[in-house]
Structure 1
Amino acid sequence: MSSKSETGHAKNISNFETVIGICTGYGPAYNPSNEKISIAELTTVHSNSVNSSNLVKTTEAYFNDIEGKRMIVFKPLKRLATRILAALKGTQPPATVLADAKTINFKIQGRRVDTVVKEVAPGENEVRRISVSQQSYDLKIEHLDKFISLVALEPNYLPNENDLKVTALNAYKSEMISSNVNVKTAYVTYSNAMIARNHVLYDPIDGLVARSILIKDYVKSVFGTSSPEFKQISKINFRRFN
């Protein structure tokens, strides 16, 4: 979610607090029959809005931290894949094995395996080919897993470098899987927090914005459209972002 939207959520909450202060200032004149816009109920809604907004900030910060750690874990993959391929070449494997290894490495590096350019008829705009770059984290894990399976079956693949050995590669793959799962779990928590926040703020019946509309209508009914009281509160704007 963009920072602009987050600023908008905070502005809505701040404006709602201002509205509560204004309504409280009306004294006994502010006496709605609808309990949803009573001062006590509005205060509760504001408190819930603040709490839900803070939870979004907390879960977002944790998600960003976990996501950053995943990036660190995955960063060595491309260089490692290049070294695995070089080590495999040194064993003089069958041509088919080497071809498969090169294909896997291309995918890990994010390169196109098929470099054939489709011919375009004269006068036609060149059609942009869909990228075959498979760079999602799940696919990176899958590509490494295939690479490991491939070299594990090659009897001459016995590198002296510890980090290129099959056992080390499997350990690295497990670390990648773990970090990827952690990000997915953190995102679910963050996403649920945003859903809860949006419900408090933007539920069409009971949300903060919906209640602000009810408040303005009530103030208009009490003081009149041209009253300074209504003009004061009508200038406070709210926006929907969900």
Structure 2
Amino acid sequence: MASSSEVGHAKNISNLETMISYCTGYGAAYNPSNPELTLQALATLHTESKAALKLVKTTERPFKDVEGQRKLLFKNLKPLATKVMGAIRSSGAPETVVENAETINRKIQGRRANTKEEPTPEGEKPKNKISVSQQSFDLQIDHLDKLIELTTVEPKYNPNETPLQVATLNNYKTALENINTIVKNAYTPYSNAMIARNKKLYDPEIGLVDRTQLVKNYVKSLYGASSSEYKQINKLRFKNIE
């Protein structure tokens, strides 16, 4: 299902097409001195706006595909870290190693070390809390890397289970790094397409929305505020969408 913003972009472009049709219907009377308001200029704006919107859709698909792949690959990270913690605890590793591993695992799981809330003294504002979830993909990879490093240097960590062995963990980390890079690279053209679309539609100097307001002002000056022509064209709604 398309988002409301996607529908809004398309509606703005559709209403521009309707506006052009109305202005064409005014015949020779529609003769603005501003070259940006001519029928040809408006038609070009409509064509370019449609192309800009289409490019967003074209670049969004590959980004969404790899983003879904990344989500699926990262899904195993938390349960895997829990299993690694079990292997560390059962290995007989020193308590300091276990504690360090627990600290790293809490970050992977997105949990606080102490979940107890401290009451705010009367008359004072609550303190701003820095998020400790650290759930961004880059940070999760970094946490996993630290957990792997800890298991690598701990001689007692030597599980028989292949998924928990250091070599397998390193392979998994590499896979996470690779898919994360692919997503970043796929997002760049998608992000650039959205920037171009927003400039074409919403730039305060050259954007579609501001241009259509100029057209309304011209038709108002041409026929008058109470005219049927102005009422006809003024009913068209164009919205700035962030």
**TM value normalised by structure 2:** 0.92
Distance across 2 between alignment mates of 1:122 and 1:219: 62
Residue 7 of structure 1 is matched in structure 2 by 7
Q: How does 1:52-131 map to 2 (within 5 A)?
A: 52-121=52-121, 129-131=129-131
Q: Which string of whole-angstrom CA distances, capped at 9 and with x for unpartnered residues, describes residues 127-159 of structure 1?
A: 685542221111110110000000000112222
Secondary structure, counterpart of 2:105 in structure 1: helix
Deviations 1:141-200 (A, max 9, x none): 011000000000011222222221111111100111111122222222222111100111
How has the CA–CA distance of structure 1 residues 102 and 34 changed in structure 2, closer, same or farther, with 3 Å as cutoff? same
Instruction: Find the counterpart in structure 1 of residue 26 from structure 2.
Output: 26
SS class of match (1:158): coil
Q: Which residue of 1 aligns with 2:177?
A: 177
Match of 1:137 in 2: 137
- Whichever residue aligns with residue 94 of structure 1, its letter is P
- Show the counterpart of 2:201: 201
Distance in 1 between the 2:188 and 2:214 partners? 33
The equivalences for 1:151-166 within 5 A come to 151-166=151-166
Q: Cα RMSD over matched residues?
A: 2.0
Structure 2: tracts of 5 or more residues without a match: none
For 2:43 and 2:67, the matched residues in 1 are separated by: 36
CA contact (8 A) 1:84 1:164 kept: yes
Correspondence for 1:189: 189
Structure 1: which amino acid aligns with 2:197? R
Q: What residue number does 1:224 align with?
A: 224
For 1:77 and 1:18, locate their aligned partners in 2 and report how far apart those are by CA, in whole Å. 52
Hey, what's the Cα distance between the residues in 2 that align with 1:217 and 1:131?
50
2:39 matched to which residue of 1? 39
Report SS of the residue matched to 1:205.
Answer: coil
1:124 is displaced (CA, Å) by: 7.2
Paired amino acid for 1:76: N
Measured after TM superposition, the shift of residue 221 of structure 1 is 2.1
CA distance in 1 between counterparts of 2:227 and 2:122 reads 70
Letter in 1 for 2:118: K
Question: What fraction of aligned residue pairs are identical, expressed as a percent?
Answer: 54
Amino acid at match of 2:136: S
Identify the range of structure 1 (127-136 vs 192-201) with the bigger mean alpha-carbon deviation. 127-136
Unaligned runs of 5+ in 1: none
Identify the range of structure 1 (126-135 vs 95-104) with the bigger mean alpha-carbon deviation: 126-135
